Structure 1
């Protein structure tokens, strides 16, 4: 999949209706509304800055790197052109679903199959909350602390899958495990991370 796509950036446009600080303080849903109602380029840039790398992380679960990058651009172009057609109450899970569905559509076009990741834990749910409740540094510290509490096989599989972008088969080879064992360690590790993170978040 290769396409010529408009790439959104975090650079401000010349015509502004809000200050940079004001845009940073807006909720995702408020930014989306400004795109839908006003075609606000600065709001679009802010959403792209917040979520492009997280959307890419979702895409990489299904597609090679270059194809995943293309999918991210396709999705953000659709947000720009079609936002007025959607009522989005919670932007992050909506974006996750849109990116995932776009990836699956691409796979169907090429007659590929893929092992779908389970919903036990997703870093997209927690990574970029600095503009809502917590500073990103706090989130990273919590995640690192929770990772250290995992059993070694769970921790190794989680890090190789999410940070190393390895497939089940690659992890199995590196860790001398079966694909089934890798899947089990990932499922249990994600579940334990989600529990641990939720416990920390509730105390803030």
Structure 2
């Protein structure tokens, strides 16, 4: 029963967890290593699965914490655009691909300018599609803080994107 539950409920989260880990680590091999560790940790705690109202939010929290631990240990901060293109699997025309790369690089640069909590909340909501309640569980903060962080992060991104598009700054 537990193996079937693991393959039906946990394994389908693998790609979403990987993208989230890559967001933190910016390295596809390290992200894959973290996800493997997460899967092992989740399997070893299978007796406690019933205690969590959302297994997905619990897995995201474990992923987040493991990534933060790895970053603290390695002081690792690099950006690998090729990894993102690998993840996204772009098969567009060269012109669209270049334009997509430029847009992605700009958004990534703007996201990196946000405070960590705002960046994390915006990514979880707007890229990964989590609800406000799930984000509060994952980030282990109040629901009102989640809403504030998302609002402020989006406002910052919107203002800067408007300025860049209008004035080329």
Q: Give the number of the structure whose residues are more often helix, by fraction.
A: 2
**TM-score scaled by length of structure 1:** 0.40
Higher relative contact order (CA 8 A, sep 6+): 2
